[in-house]
């Protein structure tokens, strides 16, 4: 484990990897305490339950270095036991279809984050790529109440602006945008504008900052200095306690998965999402964030930017832990 992280909680608030021993070992050696792992995007109910079964196999196969977190206490225990805790999340509401009773079934198997939408409209709300964002629907309202009751985090990544504002206002518990960047750093459909950021913070919400190249200023050529300067600017705008990392790191996937993420099964034509050049391969990560353990570079970058060590550790994980304590 990285010496600097020895006594610290380090959390990556979103990764989507094709998990294997090599990836788990990198996180483990890198000193990560917990990772929120995406299970599905477009998958239906049955397919999503199968993903959980697959994870339960992984927990057995790699029990020396990973474990399943269903409570924040499990994250603290993982730290003590020198393991990486995995928190389950869905990047869409497709698995629950139109059935509110499925939420508790997924919750009982460990689901702790669910996005209302993934780019497109769902029965719950409007996605960020929709020309007309519905906001939170009748079913969406009922689902948010149920998630609040269960202790499942409402994740607004990939939602439209009206949906974000509605959900922030409707939810009785603070909501998260697990992986996105502010519009002031990089203008894109997926980035979050000032109004949403300020409303989010006012209601004790949380944003995890993304390292996905299409969310970065200058994409894969983004400098660590620019990224850390954005963090400082955001901290000044909404307060440090609302900010963490949600790297959106995608490892070990073939290029076809890029088009799966964008197209799912919803269109017979090709949709290129945020790619302006119709590229269908994985975008190049910045050299200072190519794997989960590279989170140490962000820590060092923050120190170099003038942030004190205590605050840098807040960004790297303890803020996420405090936020999660409100829920589970």
Two structure tokens written together for 130: 């929709």
Judged by beta carbon, residue 121 or residue 319, the one nearer a copy of itself is: 121
CB 27 within 8 A of CB 5: no
Minimum CB separation from a copy of itself for residue 194, in Å? 23
Minimum CB distance to a copy of itself smaller for 133 or for 294: 133
Cα(223)–Cα(125) distance, integer angstroms: 35
- Minimum Å gap between C-beta 70 and a copy of itself is 23
Nearer CB in complex with a copy of itself: 109/162: 162
Nearest-approach distance from CB 41 to a copy of itself, in angstroms: 10
Taking the C-alpha atoms of residue 297 and residue 208, their distance in angstroms, rounded to an integer, is: 16
CA atoms of 9 and 290, how far apart (whole Å): 21
| CB nearer a copy of itself, residue 139 or residue 282 | 139
Question: What distance in Å separates the CA atoms of residue 149 and residue 146, rounded to the nearest whole number?
Answer: 5
Q: Which is nearer to a copy of itself, 66 or 116 (CB)?
A: 116
Number of Cβ atoms within 10 Å of the Cβ of 278: 7
CB nearer to a copy of itself: give 139 or 184.
139
CB of 119 to a copy of itself, least distance (A): 8
Query: In Å, how far are 66, 151, 249 from 56, measured between CA atoms?
Result: 11, 21, 22
| 8 Å CB contact between 36 and 89 | yes
Q: Which residues bind a copy of itself (CB under 8 A)?
A: 42, 44-45, 94, 97-101, 120-124, 126, 129-135, 137-140, 142, 146, 264-269
Q: How far is the CB of 180 from a copy of itself (least distance, A)?
A: 20
- Least separation in angstroms between CB 121 and a copy of itself: 4
**What is 185-208 written as a DSSP string?**
T---TTSB-HHHHHHHHHTT-EEE
Burial of 197 (C-beta count, 10 Å sphere; 0-12/13-18/19+)? buried
């Amino acid at each position: 484990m990285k010496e600097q992280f020895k006594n610290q909680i380090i959390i990556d608030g979103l990764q989507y990897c094709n998990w294997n021993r090599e990836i788990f070992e990198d996180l483990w050696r890198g000193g990560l305490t917990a990772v929120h792992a995406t299970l599905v995007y477009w998958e239906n109910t049955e397919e999503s339950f199968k993903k959980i079964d697959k994870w339960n196999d992984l927990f057995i196969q790699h029990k020396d270095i990973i474990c399943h977190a269903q409570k924040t206490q499990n994250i603290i225990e993982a730290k003590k036991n020198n393991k990486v805790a995995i928190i389950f999340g869905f990047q869409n509401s497709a698995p629950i279809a139109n059935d509110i009773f499925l939420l508790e079934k997924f919750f009982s198997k460990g689901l702790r984050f669910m996005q209302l939408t993934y780019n497109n409209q769902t029965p719950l709300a409007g996605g960020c790529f929709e020309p007309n964002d519905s906001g939170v629907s009748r079913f969406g309202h009922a689902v948010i109440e149920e998630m609040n009751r269960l202790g499942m985090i409402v994740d607004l990544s990939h939602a439209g602006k009206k949906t974000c504002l509605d959900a922030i206002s409707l939810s009785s518990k603070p909501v998260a945008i697990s992986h996105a960047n502010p519009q002031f750093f990089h203008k894109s459909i997926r980035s979050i504008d000032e109004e949403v950021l300020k409303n989010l913070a006012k209601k004790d919400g949380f944003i995890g900052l993304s390292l996905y190249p299409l969310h970065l200023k200058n994409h894969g050529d983004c400098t660590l200095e620019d990224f850390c300067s954005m963090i400082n600017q955001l901290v000044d705008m909404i307060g440090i306690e609302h900010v963490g990392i949600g790297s959106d790191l995608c490892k070990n996937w073939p290029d076809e998965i890029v088009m799966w993420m964008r197209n799912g099964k919803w269109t017979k034509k090709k949709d290129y999402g945020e790619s302006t050049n119709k590229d269908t391969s994985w975008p190049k990560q910045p050299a200072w964030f190519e794997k989960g353990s590279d989170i140490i570079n962000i820590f060092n970058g923050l120190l170099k930017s003038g942030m004190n060590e205590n605050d840098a550790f807040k960004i790297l994980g303890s803020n996420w832990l405090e936020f999660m304590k409100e829920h589970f």
